[in-house]
A and B are shown apart, each in its own frame.
Chain A
Amino acid sequence: NQELLRHDEL
């Protein structure tokens, strides 16, 4: 779930 991980970072 790379997409979600990417948007997790600020």
Chain B
Amino acid sequence: MNIFRLAGDVSHLVAIIILLLKIWRSKSCAGISGKSQVLFALVFSTRYLDLFTVFVSVYNVVMKVVFLALSYATVYLIYMRFRNSYDSENDTFRVEFLLVPVIGLSFLENYAFTPLEILWTFSIFLEAVAIMPQLFMITKTGEAESITTHYLFFLGLYRALYIANWVWRYHMEGFFDQIAVVSGVVQTIFYCDFFYLYVTRVLRGKGKMSLP
């Protein structure tokens, strides 16, 4: 465990909690892509099957269980409890355009052709693109509430810190996970445009982020 990893995990947790609290307190999930949240729940569900096969540490188990529970809680709030506020008309990203290539790629490029390894690879590739319905929704409506942008900021920060973590681990532990690193870098690139808007519009300006 290095400082980048820990800070990355904390950022990830903060992002998820920000989103959950925003929905819970405002009793509304307006502006939130339910599709992205379902994809994240799918990411955690397929990746953390290793809870049953490998024991790494207590920290590892606790965090995985927490991420799973929080992601399902978020999906529950959006599609069940506060579904009246769910903006399905603007959450129109075609998820199959992500799922089909991701499923195909995870069969082609993996560490072992076994169900668990293919599902693990699937979760890595899917995580890289799972935020796209949310970014698409913001582009479509042309605006995002500041709290939604804080959520995206912490999610992007988590990815950036994981890259620093991989650089550290490569030098210190000789560890290099090609699948995770390549898709992690791709994923981080998706956030760059958003980071720019976040700094120039949200931090320096008003509450909402509106696109030009």
Contacts and interface: CB of A to CB of B under 8 A. Distances in A.
Interface of A: 2-10
B79 to A, nearest CB: 25
A2 B60 contact: no
B143 interface: no
A8 B63 contact: no
B96 interface: no
B9 to A, nearest CB: 6
B57 interface: yes
B83 interface: no
B173 A7 contact: no
A2 to B, nearest CB: 7
Interface residues of B, number: 18
Contacts of A3: 54
Nearest to B9: A10
A10 B13 CA distance: 11
A7 B9 contact: no
B64 A5 contact: no
Nearest to B47: A10
Contacts of B169: 5
Contacts of A9: 5, 162, 165, 177, 180
Given A2-B175, A2-B177, A8 B56 contact: yes
B12 interface: yes
Nearest to A3: B54
A8 B60 contact: yes
Contacts of B67: 10
B87 interface: no
